[in-house]
Amino acid sequence: METKAKKLRELIDRPGPIFSLGVWDPYSAIIAEQAGFEVLTVFGSITSWAMIGKPDLGYITQTEMVDTARRVVQSVSTPVIVDCDDGFGDPINVIRTIKLIEQIGAAGLYIEDLSRPLRCSAMGEGGMIPSDVMAQKIRAAVDARTDPDFVIIARTDAYEGADEMIVRARKYVEAGADMVLTIGLLNLKDMKKVATEAGVPLATLQAARTKMPFGPPNEVAKMGYKIIFHVQTLFMAADHSMRQAARELMEDIQNGDETPRLLPGQSPVEIEKGIGLDEDDVIINSYFGVNCPLPKQAK
């Protein structure tokens, strides 16, 4: 049986870039899969925003991230990569993180070399641990891996510049990482420099409205980055729509004389059909001999 880790390996070996979309729960994962994304990523930032309502500063625990990722992995057939912050501690914690993320069926994970409080360099005002300390974590991760197809990605941020990023990328691959995720470079020139000179498999991300450049997909891919992560796209859209819907509904309630407005979108029944209602009706019918009655839609 082909595992999701094996499927991710095959995608990595295939020519051309992989574009991964950030998700935070089963519903966002299903939407991303239905849109055609071949790899999904459970990011710590949007998980922190959605799950506990806190900034992305390392509040999310190992248990919370594993539980979130488990629900996402089980909801889709697409390979899922899990953002595991700094491995949630020292090499001992990293070992347990690898085991837990493997057990839920994820295709891979990444751990980062940020110092606490964790602060992504695309947002700013953070720092990094020594590269030797990070290399120890990577070696622990590789030693803990039981499935050789499980992908281990080392993330490094740009707080110390492109040249240091190149040095760290090489060191992390030498320690056993399959790929290095580079984050926080401020311009496409530096992104190209790292991609050209590092000489190791690389990934990067696109995060609109942050310090990082948000470039055309083909331009970023041509630099040589294998996986290009799009982080907050779905969450930013959801945030915008929820704020608009809440504001308009409150205005209409306060007005009181007109039927409340509704944003364009699917009906509740259409939403349920999109996540498997028809298939579940077949199962219900096989047990009870009748179809589950559906509510009639208002015209």
Catalytic residues: 120
Residue 75 CA, distance from chain mean position: 15
Most distant CA pair in the chain: distance in Å? Answer: 68
Contact 215, 189 (CB under 8 A): no
What are the φ/ψ torsions at residue 265 (nearest 5 degrees)? 165, 180
End-to-end CA distance of the chain: 47
Residues 141, 142, 148, 151, Cα dihedral to 10°: 60
